[in-house]
Amino acid sequence: MPAEKLLLFDIDGTLIDTEGAGLYSLAEGFFNAFPEFQGKPFPALDLGGATDGSVVAFLFESFGIEDHEEHRTRFFAAYSVALEEKLGRFEREGKGRLLEGVPSLLEELRGGDHPYHIALLTGNTCEGAGIKLRHYGIDHHFSFGAYGDDHPDRNALGPVALKRAEEVHGLGLSPENVVIIGDTPKDIACARAFGARVIAVATGGSSEQDLRDCAPDFLLSSLSDTAAVIAALAQVFTQGET
Ligand SMILES: [Mg+2]
């Protein structure tokens, strides 16, 4: 039996494309939580690879709102309500989707004869991640994750994921037995920050060239070909082994 491995999936642009439902929900949630700012312009957000924890810090700074627990709780509660509603509405309008190949890949990774455990490493809050994955029917594949409300800096989330792997599954994994699968340069940086391997997938906001420039261990145009992803994983974990 080969050594156990952990695959940490990003969500937006990697597993799903909400086609903007997340961004709209951040804005709607914000104005519902802090109605005194309604009518003011909502600042442009660079969401690719960002954590929701860092986004809320940026919003509070932009609007001059004191950043403390009660305000954060109020914001994220309103965001979650908006997100549920928005995902449903977008679906009725034919917007938002699971990315191609994702359901079959997840089925294969969990059901096939592989040494892989799968979990999440995402900038979404734990609750936001659950809402999105439940909406698209893939939440049951993931028993734990590291989230954007664990730490505002994505680069701090790898060690959080390793700690949860130990708590939830008793997995004492070293970082070289972990691969992050994500769609932005920030996913690649996050893997490098704790010594994990990384597969970049060009189904989000970053082009193949932008991702290649960040030197991931493997680059895929999409996750549509399950066999190709399985082969990429095998290669990535073999690289550097002696
Ligand atoms: Mg992403």
Query: Can you give the pLDDT of all 242 residues of the chain as single tens digits?
Result: 567 999 999 999 999 999 999 999 999 999 999 999 999 999 998 887 789 999 999 999 999 999 999 999 999 999 999 999 999 999 999 999 999 999 999 999 998 889 999 999 999 999 999 999 999 999 999 999 999 999 999 999 999 999 999 998 898 899 999 999 999 999 999 999 999 999 999 999 899 999 999 999 999 999 999 999 999 999 999 986 65
pTM value is 0.95
Domain at 5-18+98-238, CATH class = alpha beta
Domain ranges of the chain: 5-18+98-238, 21-92
- Terminal-to-terminal C-alpha distance of the chain: 18
- Enumerate residues with CB within 5 Å of ligand 1 (an ion): 10, 12-13, 183, 204
Distance 36 CA to ligand 1 centre (A): 31
Nearest to 37 by CA among 73, 68, 88, 74: 74
Q: What is the pLDDT of residues 198-222, one digit of tens each?
A: 999 999 989 999 999 999 999 999 9
- The length of the chain in residues reads 242
Sign of CA dihedral 164, 170, 175, 176: negative
- Do 96 and 18 form a contact (C-beta atoms < 8 A)? yes
d(CA 222, CA 204): 9
Distance 17 CA to ligand 1 centre (A): 9
